[in-house]
Amino acid sequence: MAKAWPYEDACVIAGELYGNLLARNSDEVGYRYNVNQLVRGYETVRDIVVRFCASEEFREKYVMNQTPNELARRLLLRLTMNKRPSPDEIKVLAVAILERDWRRVIEDVIMSESYTEAYGDDRVPLWA
Domain assignment present for 18: yes
Instruction: Give the Cα separation of 126 and 68 in Å (integer).
Output: 20
CATH number at residue 21: 1.10.3130.20
DSSP count for the chain of H helices, then E strands:
8, 0
Q: Is residue 1 part of a domain?
A: no
64 within a domain of the structure (yes/no): yes
Q: How many CB atoms lie within 10 A of CB 35?
A: 22
Per-residue pLDDT of the chain in tens (128 residues, 90 and over written 9): 789 999 999 999 999 999 999 999 999 999 999 999 999 999 999 999 999 999 999 999 999 989 999 999 999 999 988 888 999 999 999 999 999 999 999 999 999 999 999 999 999 999 86
How far apart are the two ends of the chain, measured CA to CA in Å?
29
Give the pLDDT score at 127: 87
Q: What is the structure's pLDDT at 128?
A: 67
DSSP state of 54: T
Report the distance separating Cα 85 and Cα 99, nearest Å.
Answer: 20
Give the pLDDT of residue 62: 93
Asked whether residue 125 is assigned to any structural domain, the reply reads: no
Q: How far is CA 39 from CA 27, 47, 63, in A?
A: 18, 14, 31
In a domain, residue 2? The reply is no
Query: Is residue 77 a part of any domain in this protein?
Result: yes
Residue 35 within a domain: yes
Does residue 124 belong to any structural domain of this protein? Answer: no
- Domain housing 48: 7-119
Domains held by the chain: number: 1
pTM reported for the whole predicted model? 0.93
